[in-house]
Amino acid sequence: MTLTTLNDGQRVHCIQRSEARVLDQHVSGYFNHGVTLRDGDIVFDVGANVGVFALRAVTRFPSVKVYAFEPVPAIFAALDANARDFGGGRLIPLNFGTSNAPGELRFTYFPRSPALSTSQPEVWEKNPEVFADAVKGATASSDLWYARLVPGFLSGLIARYLRGGGQEVVCPLRTLSDVIREHKIPRIDLLKVDCEGAELATLQGLEDEHWPLVRQVVAEVYDQDDRLNVVRQMLADRGLTQITIEQERGFEGLPLHNIFAVRPEAT
């Protein structure tokens, strides 16, 4: 773990400095298509990584509270440090993953690229070209000047390097409904889900009685087995009918999509 400084001077504990800056560039992208934050809002950040999004939320809005979920111990250590040093008591780090039932799950942690750590490494193993294209897309969409100098043909080599040194860890799982009950959560103004293939199981962990508490959802969906349409229909059926699906610049043609969903009365 190390400490780095983002463009505006915000300090952040992280594992890879360059990755922390790339994650920060994505923060504004979550607030599109009607998705907003207001003072006093409650956020669930599923797949929080080291907590860059969560830090931005609590520092920009003086009374926002963020529950940040990160199962991988090495990544959670940085998230916990950020909550302690910069969270102002309003960033609550939770060291477990989310799914449709409590239990345990094996994750693959990539120390060279923690944000790509996943409980479904077979997605990348079976589709190495998708991984390479994702690296290429991330490079193309990056505002880091030196990243744009990397030739596209090197993306496969970079992808193999980033996947190197993977470590398996077993992490606990809980459902979002269990967390709502334990912490007596009155509402979820924004549910952000970015958990590398576990997004459908995470959403299935919200019981019907708790869906009315959710005002907005932003989720990254890996579209295999028609998962994108399943997620879209799930959100619509539960009243979040203002739905937009997009791909980030540089990710066109890949199975990675962002879905934005807003409950109409929330606008």
SS3 of 245, please?
A: strand
* Strand 103-109 to 167-174 pairing: antiparallel
> Could you tell me the two tokens for 152?
């596209």
- The alpha carbon of residue 212 and the mean position of all alpha carbons in its chain are separated, in whole angstroms, by 22
Q: Look at residues 43, 48, 42 and name the one whose alpha carbon lies nearest to residue 20.
A: 48
User: Model confidence over 29-57: pLDDT tens digits?
Assistant: 999 999 999 999 999 999 999 999 999 99
pLDDT at 142 over 70: no
pLDDT at 147 over 50: no
Would you list the domain boundaries of the chain? 2-100+174-266
What is the spatial distance between Cα 190 and Cα 107, in angstroms, rounded to a whole number? 26
Percent of the chain exceeding pLDDT 70 equals 81
- The residue assigned the tokens 């994702």 is 134
pLDDT at 149 over 90: no
pLDDT at 266 over 90: no
**Cβ neighbours of residue 41 under 8 Å, at least 6 residues apart?**
61, 64, 65, 189, 190
> Could you tell me the two tokens for 72?
């991988």
User: Model confidence over 107-124: pLDDT tens digits?
Assistant: 999 888 888 788 776 665
* Pairwise pLDDT comparison (169 vs 143), residue with the higher score: 169
Asked which of 104-118, 123-137, 242-256 is least confident by mean pLDDT, the reply is 123-137
The whole-number average pLDDT for the span 138-165 is 53
Confidence (pLDDT) at 262: 98
- Tell which CATH classification among 3.40.710.10, 1.10.10.10, 3.40.190.10, 3.40.50.150 matches the domain 2-100+174-266: 3.40.50.150
